[in-house]
């Protein structure tokens, strides 16, 4: 399984916590989960504490780009509770042309993408066609193909194959890179695992996305290597989450 793009950009995400990380790739997007033992795996480790205290939410978004005084800090649940295509498209439609808007759409996409059982193929195709940027690499954008590739074991053995899970943004974190601009925002996210209906006290998935403003809406251009230390130490919590 290749963990780098053809241009050498790392696809590794990270786990906030002291455990070793293991990665699964879905649709060209890598996901990390904590591993409950000390078995070596080809993944980075981190000493960043899971209980890191986030910085206070900025009034105008972390980048200061394209924000306005009426913009609402990311809730982590802009599109609603459900994890389907309608939720993602709703978040995309509601999100303003601001830093906060980019964070909300990235979060909605992440909640949709990383769950098992997987979304139905029709939903995956709708999200791919509506939310992926026109410039997104084909392998990255093909969500349904990624699900087919990893089968019923998306966490690659961290959870038993076939285990029901999804992400919760309750107590989740987000950051935006300083080099973001009004039309291109680099978002890093951390969200907790809900396993068989219960929020895990230890397992956290982290990923990042480059969001671009196209056709009057936020779209996902590609994945982003996460600065795990910055996210753990200085990330901002969602105002509500779901």
Helices vs strands, H then E, count in the chain: 6, 7
pLDDT score of 17 more than 50: no
**pTM beyond 0.85:** no
- As a whole number of angstroms, the distance between CA 222 and CA 140 comes to 7
Helices 85-94 and 121-131: crossing angle in degrees, nearest 10, is: 20
CA-CA distances (angstroms) from residue 35 to 32, 65, 148, 208, 230? Answer: 9, 37, 23, 20, 22
pLDDT score of 208 more than 90: yes
pLDDT score of 12 more than 50: no
pLDDT at 97: 98
29: nearest Cα among 232, 236, 210, 207: 207
pLDDT at 28: 56
Q: Is the omega angle on the peptide bond into residue 117 within 30 degrees of 0, that is, cis?
A: yes
Name the pLDDT band for 29 (thresholds 50, 70, 90): low
């Amino acid at each position: 399984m290749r963990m780098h793009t053809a241009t050498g950009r790392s696809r590794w995400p990270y786990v906030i916590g002291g455990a070793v990380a293991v990665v699964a790739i879905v649709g060209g997007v890598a996901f990390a989960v904590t591993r409950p033992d000390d078995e070596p795996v080809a993944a980075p480790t981190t000493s960043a504490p899971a209980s890191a205290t986030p910085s206070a939410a900025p009034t105008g978004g972390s980048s200061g780009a394209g924000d306005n005084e009426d913009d609402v800090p990311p809730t982590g649940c802009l599109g609603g509770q459900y994890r389907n295509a309608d939720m993602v498209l709703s978040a995309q439609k509601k999100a303003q042309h601001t830093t906060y808007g980019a964070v909300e759409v990235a979060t909605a996409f992440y909640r949709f993408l990383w769950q098992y059982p997987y979304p139905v193929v029709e939903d995956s195709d709708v999200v791919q066609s509506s939310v992926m940027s026109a410039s997104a690499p084909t392998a990255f954008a093909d969500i349904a193909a990624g699900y087919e590739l990893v089968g019923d074991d998306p966490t690659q053995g961290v959870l038993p194959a076939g285990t029901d899970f999804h992400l919760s943004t309750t107590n989740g974190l987000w950051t935006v890179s300083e080099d973001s601009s009004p039309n291109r925002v680099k978002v890093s996210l951390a969200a907790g695992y809900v396993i068989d209906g219960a929020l895990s006290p230890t397992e956290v998935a982290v990923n990042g996305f480059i969001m671009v403003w196209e056709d009057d809406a936020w779209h996902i251009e590609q994945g982003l290597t996460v600065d795990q230390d910055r996210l753990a130490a200085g990330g901002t919590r969602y105002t509500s989450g779901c």
